[in-house]
Amino acid sequence: MLKIKNLCVEAEGKKILRGVNLSVKAGEVHSIMGPNGSGKTTLAQVLAGRDSYQITAGEVIYQGQDLLEMAPEDRARKGVFLAFQYPVEIPGVSNTYFLRAALNAVRKDRGEEEVSAFDFLGQVREKLALLEMDESLISRPVNVGFSGGEKKRNEVFQMAVLEPHLAILDETDSGLDIDALKIVAEGVNKLRSENRAFIVVTHYQRLLSYIVPDYVHVLSEGRIVRTGDSSLALELEEKGYSWLAAPKPESVATGEAG
C-alpha cells in the first residue's frame, strides 16, 4: 500500500529525515517510536502533504501513485488520513459541517453519492457512540473549547467517519488519561481490517499495549535505526531510547519491514 524509499526532508535548512525506508501493506499496523525531535511528526505531516517541508530526496509510492506529487486534499480523497498531534481549532466552523464536507469530498472522489445532512447525522451517531463522545460535540466549532482528550477523540471519530485506507496517528496518546486512551484504542481496533493499514506514531509504549502493532520501528535522528515486533516496544520502555541514540550506520538501519 505504501512504500517510502530513502525519504530525506528538511525544514528551514535543517535536515530532519535522513533517508527513511518503510513499507506498509494493507492490514498491517506499524508503530513508529522514537525520542523527541527524531522526526516522527515530520514523517507523519509529510505523508499527509504539509508543504512547509522541503523534500530533498526519495520517493513515496501510495497505491501505485506518487504520493508526494498529490495535493493534501487529493491524498485525503484517496484514503490517507492523519490524526493530528495537535488538532487545530477552527472557530466559526461547526464539526458537523466540516466533517460532512470532508466525507462528501471523499465520496465524490470515489464516485459515490453525497450524503445529505439528515443521513449524515444518522451515520455519525454510531461512530460517536464508538468513541463515547457526546452528540453535542459535533454541533460545536471544530475543536474549539475541547479538552485535550476530546480533541484526540475527535480525530479518531473523524477517522471512523472517513474510513481511510491508510491511517496515520500522530501521538494520539499524548494528553489522554488512561480511560480515554482505552476508548481511543478500542475505536482504532474496531477499524482494523484487511484493507486498512495504520502507522501509529508514539513516544511511549503504553498505547501499544492496547493497539498491538505488527511492526515497531525506531526512528532516531531522521533514520529508522531498528525494526522489530511489538516486543521491541517493551524493550524500549524498559531501557529508554538512549541505548539507540547513536545509530550505527547502515548495518541496523534497514527499516524494511514486511
Partner 1 sequence: MVSKSLAHYSASFACLQNPKEPQWLQAIRNEAMEQFSKLGFPTSRQEEWKYTKVDFTRKLAFDHAPSQLNGVTADQLNQVTFGNFQCPRLVFVNGHYSETLSSLQDLPPQVQVRSLAEALRENPEQIKPHLARHAGYQDHAFVALNTAFIQDGAFVHIPEGARIEEPIHLLFVSTSLDKVTACHPRNLIVVDENSQATILESYVGLDQQPYFTNLVTEVVMGKNANLDHYKLKRESDQAFHVGTLQIHQDRSSHLRTFDVTLGGALTRNEVNARLDGEGAECALDGLYLVSGGQHVDNHTRLEHAKPHCASREVYRGILDDRATGVFHGRIVVQPDAQKTDSKQTNNNLLLSDDATINTKPQLEIYADDVKCTHGATVGQLDENALFYLRSRGIDATTARSLLIYAFASQVTEEIRVESVRSQVDDHLFGWLPQGRLIREAI
Cell of 68: 508526494
Per CB under 8 A, which region of 32-40, 93-101, 174-182, 231-239 contacts partner 1?
93-101
Per CB under 8 A, which region of 21-29, 43-51, 126-134, 222-230 contacts partner 1?
43-51
Q: How many residues form the binding site for partner 1 (CB under 8 A)?
A: 34
Per CB under 8 A, which region of 55-63, 95-103, 201-209, 247-255 contacts partner 1?
95-103
Is there binding between residue 163 and partner 1 (CB under 8 A)?
no
Query: CA separation (Å) from 236 to 12, 239, 253?
Result: 31, 5, 17
Is there binding between residue 151 and partner 1 (CB under 8 A)?
no
Task: Tell me which H or E stretch contains 46.
Answer: helix 40-48
Supply the minimum distance, in Å, between the C-beta of residue 41 and partner 1. Answer: 13
Is there binding between residue 40 and partner 1 (CB under 8 A)?
no
Supply the minimum distance, in Å, between the C-beta of residue 221 and partner 1. Answer: 25
- Give the separation between CA 258 and CA 249, rounded to whole angstroms: 21
Query: CA separation (Å) from 12 to 54, 55, 206, 252?
Result: 8, 11, 33, 29
- Count the alpha carbons within 13 Å of 129 in the hemisphere toward its beta carbon: 6
In one letter, which amino acid is 39? G
Supply the minimum distance, in Å, between the C-beta of residue 96 and partner 1. Answer: 9
46 CB contacts (<8 Å, ≥6 apart)? 7, 9, 17, 53, 55, 60, 68
User: Which residue lies nearer to partner 1 by CB, 47 or 180?
Assistant: 47
Is there binding between residue 4 and partner 1 (CB under 8 A)?
no
Supply the minimum distance, in Å, between the C-beta of residue 142 and partner 1. Answer: 8
- Count the alpha carbons within 13 Å of 256 in the hemisphere toward its beta carbon: 5
Where do contacts with partner 1 occur on this chain (CB under 8 A)?
A: 48-52, 71-73, 75-77, 81-82, 84, 87-88, 90-94, 97-103, 105-106, 109, 141, 158, 162
